[in-house]
Amino acid sequence: MYRASLRTVEVRRVIFEEDGHRYNGPMAARGQPIDPQVGDQPLLGAHVDVGQPDAPPAQSLRRSERRARQP
């Protein structure tokens, strides 16, 4: 059994100018200019899913409850 920990993940933007166009984020590698509606902002949805902590099985809980009740 393992314990999942919540981690803060830093997402760095890639911003550069080329031929008068500004590029950012994953689109920079593909040469897509920044969307003028969004501007120079972090890309929405840029995150890493670290998963959810697993709940222990119900049987383990019952066993531990029994242990706790024993004098």
CA-to-CA distance for 69 and 62, rounded, in angstroms?
A: 11
Tens of pLDDT, residues 4-40: 555 555 545 555 566 666 655 555 555 555 555 555 5
Helix (H) or strand (E) holding 23: strand 21-23
Which pTM value belongs to this model? 0.17
- Domain extents for the chain? 11-38
- Per the CB < 8 A criterion, the answer to whether 54 and 1 are in contact is yes
What residues does 33 pair with on adjacent strands?
A: 23
Lowest mean pLDDT among 13-17, 32-36, 42-46, 59-63: 42-46
